[in-house]
Structure 1
């Protein structure tokens, strides 16, 4: 009995020492952000094509989310890392990203201070990592600054499932990365698979980034697989007239380059992107739809707590000619976006943003092109105006 009484405290002490050691070598961080805004949309599709006012918490500067990230020091500069991040809709309590519990990202991996990191799971593509903070909708604005339909995924409309990602350390301002998505289709090792590459240089006032990505069979009949249908509800990014007619594409690729340059309180941004929906089926059999997107913008930092931004985007496509001789997708979009952001503290700010868009030509469905700011839905005509007023808080 005496022996047992002595052993119990010793075991507790040993466990306490072990817990302290583990705590010293590991860290787990709970974080989150709430971005809630009221939105006015001048023109919606449908028979009435009326105005719309609604609350939105998922498409602002930083869509609402909460997450956990961890880092365990394994010694010799090696770390075990993980991130679990969930998008949330404040107005309904529902999960964002089509209902995925950790729809924004969820991965685990190893990170070396000298060699970089290797991670596995649902992750962002290289457009996010090497273009995101250099693009209009990241460097100086929100998704309202993104091209119509977010064709190049610069507003992070889709993530990559079943992804293996490598990210290098930064060498004198230069970094690079690569990612491969395992398709997982039975009997076909390449279906629904894809890869992306990216690189970035940051030095002084200049930053330059480039990314390329290619996916085979980007639209899948199985919800939760394929690039455009990666969410559990199976909703596709090819839902509106801008690119709806290209859902039969068996390949999708993006090549994008962007640069920023700071001159005192002003930061300038410009980019070019080429987007292709290749090897189309149906009436467009064998055709390829090609888009070119140009954008530019500027941010003026009035003070550490107040800044203003303006952006312009031009998207154009020459269209695709089908077997019947009809050409569809000969469309052009002009968009102007504005934003003003006032910080009330380090963690809380209020901002107002607006976008106006004008469309012309023929859409991918063969009908007259209509406006579509981000992916808020087709307008009933060729123009659309959107305003969003927001309160944002980080924790």
Structure 2
């Protein structure tokens, strides 16, 4: 009888160790952010607007699952499923997609980097965008006008295959290709992006190049500009809505970040091109150049504040009738103060002011439009956001 009991206890111990080993090799993590703000937006639709908003603050509200399974020899299976959430009405963000922020599966090697497949961020997001002046402050009040270079992370890449390297003495790089998926046209709606970054002590550098063919599609969920589930184009405001006929979209961007004690400096430059605009524009090209600079000061572990300035200029394009449009200029100043109540909860105040001049992409006088929240009724606009953010 004693021998039987000992054997039973030994079996339980063995199974317990096996179970512990299994769980040690696989891990799934639930995470999320709730970022809710009271917003004031001036000069929109003929008046002022006050409302609650949860998708365009320091971090758009979201929840997600990420997992890793150890396959041995330094190789892991990985996945991420992340959904944007409008906490004011409970709906999914990114045009209603269940996992509109990102969803992918892949393999990661400790030596050779990772390969992932699915709906993913581009190389702008991973390399130069975190180092820009606008992202040093974060939030829609600091986003480049129209988010034309995607430094504000408004766009994701569908049907994407992505490679990301490990760090080589501070140097990282990545590449991504989006399969268009159009029958009989292997390059339609396709695109690629390349990026690299270098970090050495207080200095960080990042750069990326991106190109997409046929970025606007009539099929919901396809095309770079229309990749969300509802198929709505991001070229929705007067700054660039006249360029929906573009057959190609290109971004080149570089950014730098430097920390000196409590002070962090950041700056970036981007060039955006809407190419092959069709007969209405004599197949011409619209160009934008954006320059930003920001400084942030860490007053204490719990409090920091910063200011940023962005200048964006649109080079004019000639219509078939010989008229030049799109020669527009934007000046934008933003401010952020952020106080942490704990490691996971903070309150912040963000303010943005923008002024526009010149002629918009529609041929009308240019008007202000902070982060595509809505064309101003004149050439100036103010955005104020007072928000509470909680991470879990």
Instruction: Compute the TM-score of the two structures, normalised by the length of structure 2.
Output: 0.96
Residue 191 of structure 1 corresponds to which residue in structure 2? 188
Answer yes or no: is 1:244 the counterpart of 2:254. Answer: no
- Give the 3-state SS of the residue equivalent to 1:166 in structure 2: strand
Residue deviations 1:18-69 (CA, integer Å, cap 9, x gap): 5433211011000011000000001103xxx100001000001111000000
Q: Which one of 320, 328, 331 corresponds to residue 328 of structure 2?
A: 331
Residue 160 of structure 2 corresponds to which residue in structure 1? 163
Residue 257 of structure 1 corresponds to which residue in structure 2? 254
State how far apart, in whole Å, the 2-side matches of 1:44 and 1:10 are.
73
Q: Which moved more, 1:303-312 or 1:138-147?
A: 138-147
State how far apart, in whole Å, the 2-side matches of 1:22 and 1:351 are.
42
Answer yes or no: is 1:211 the counterpart of 2:208. Answer: yes
- Give the superposed CA RMSD: 1.6
Q: Which one of 221, 224, 242 corresponds to residue 218 of structure 2?
A: 221
State how far apart, in whole Å, the 2-side matches of 1:381 and 1:11 are.
77
- Give the 3-state SS of the residue equivalent to 1:92 in structure 2: coil
Answer yes or no: is 1:120 the counterpart of 2:106. Answer: no
User: Cα distance, 1:316 vs. partner?
Assistant: 0.3
Answer yes or no: is 1:316 the counterpart of 2:313. Answer: yes
Answer yes or no: is 1:365 the counterpart of 2:370. Answer: no
Residue 34 of structure 1 corresponds to which residue in structure 2? 34
State how far apart, in whole Å, the 1-side matches of 2:10 and 2:185 are.
58
Cα–Cα, structure 1 residues 77 and 258, in superposed 2: closer, same or farther, change >3 Å? same
State how far apart, in whole Å, the 1-side matches of 2:89 and 2:391 are.
20
Task: State whether residues 33 and 394 of structure 1, in contact with CA within 8 Å, keep that contact through their aligned partners in structure 2.
Answer: yes
1:143-158 to 2 correspondence within 5 Å? 143-158=140-155
Q: Which moved more, 1:379-388 or 1:131-140?
A: 131-140
Q: Which one of 258, 277, 281 corresponds to residue 278 of structure 2?
A: 281
Residue 175 of structure 1 corresponds to which residue in structure 2? 172
State how far apart, in whole Å, the 1-side matches of 2:119 and 2:13 are.
40
State how far apart, in whole Å, the 1-side matches of 2:135 and 2:314 are.
24
State how far apart, in whole Å, the 2-side matches of 1:56 and 1:294 are.
28
State how far apart, in whole Å, the 2-side matches of 1:203 and 1:131 are.
15
Residue deviations 1:101-148 (CA, integer Å, cap 9, x gap): 000000000000110000000000000000232022322322321111
Cα–Cα, structure 1 residues 161 and 12, in superposed 2: closer, same or farther, change >3 Å? farther
Task: State whether residues 129 and 255 of structure 2, in contact with CA within 8 Å, keep that contact through their aligned partners in structure 1.
Answer: no
User: Cα distance, 1:391 vs. partner?
Assistant: 0.4
State how far apart, in whole Å, the 2-side matches of 1:376 and 1:369 are.
15
Task: State whether residues 136 and 142 of structure 1, in contact with CA within 8 Å, keep that contact through their aligned partners in structure 2.
Answer: no
Residue 4 of structure 2 corresponds to which residue in structure 1? none
State how far apart, in whole Å, the 2-side matches of 1:85 and 1:364 are.
34
State how far apart, in whole Å, the 2-side matches of 1:12 and 1:231 are.
51
Q: Which one of 311, 326, 349 corresponds to residue 352 of structure 1?
A: 349
- Unpaired runs of at least 5, structure 2: 1-7
- Give the 3-state SS of the residue equivalent to 1:153 in structure 2: coil
State how far apart, in whole Å, the 2-side matches of 1:228 and 1:189 are.
18
Residue 202 of structure 1 corresponds to which residue in structure 2? 199
User: Cα distance, 1:17 vs. partner?
Assistant: 5.5
- Unpaired runs of at least 5, structure 1: 1-7
Task: State whether residues 141 and 309 of structure 1, in contact with CA within 8 Å, keep that contact through their aligned partners in structure 2.
Answer: no
State how far apart, in whole Å, the 2-side matches of 1:372 and 1:29 are.
38
Q: Which one of 100, 103, 106 corresponds to residue 103 of structure 1?
A: 100
Residue deviations 1:189-208 (CA, integer Å, cap 9, x gap): 00000000000001111111
